[in-house]
Amino acid sequence: MEQGAVFQSNRSQAIRLPKAVALPDDVKRVDIVAVGRTRIIAPAGEAWDSWFEGAAATPDFMSERDQPALQVRDAFNRHHGQLCISSVTLMELIYGAEKSASQERNLAVVEGFAARLEVLPYDDIAANHTGQLRAELARNGTPIGPYDQLIAGHARSRGLIVVTNSRREFDRVAGLRIEDWTI
């Protein structure tokens, strides 16, 4: 483990990072995430404004979904360095683009969206959580859709927050953290 020196000046702090863990020279801004007493520092991601303004999907793409509101864009901008999606979510987006009348255009929108995020592969730990929650929901007589089960199990297995406006479905899953950025 490398260690760096912390310098304090009034209400500001600076850290001298050892060369082995230094950021690339072209990094001028960083995103910082607090996890308990730990701080995770990564090069700053891009704001999402340009994506929401420029990457307009055709009206038939994911037409059953509401278009993102300004507060959703603002939430993406606030959390841009911390966002990821499940490979299951990516599959759903690709399916929506593939069944649309403008496949090429909508696939480009999906690619642009996914390129800004980490896409988490669905693994055996996620499968374990999904199997458990599916059985629990069946016992309680409160099932949810199969893809929502996969997404919930994946998020729960990693301790992540599901951002959705489908709270009615995901609220049924014990131990799952949920946020709705549309309200």
Q: Which tokens belong to 98?
A: 């593939």
- Does 171 show up as a binding residue in the annotation? no
CB 162 within 8 A of CB 52: no
Q: Which tokens belong to 151?
A: 């997404």
- Within 8 A by CB and 6+ apart from 44, the residues are 27, 29, 30, 31, 81
- Following DSSP, what letter does each residue of 10-64 receive, concatenated? TTEEEEE--GGGPPPTT---EEEEEETTEEEEEEPPPPSHHHHHH-PPPTTTTTT
Beta bridge partners, 178, equal 162
What sign for the dihedral angle of Cα 133, 138, 139, 142? positive
- Annotated binding-site ranges: 148
- Annotated binding-site ranges for Mg(2+): 148
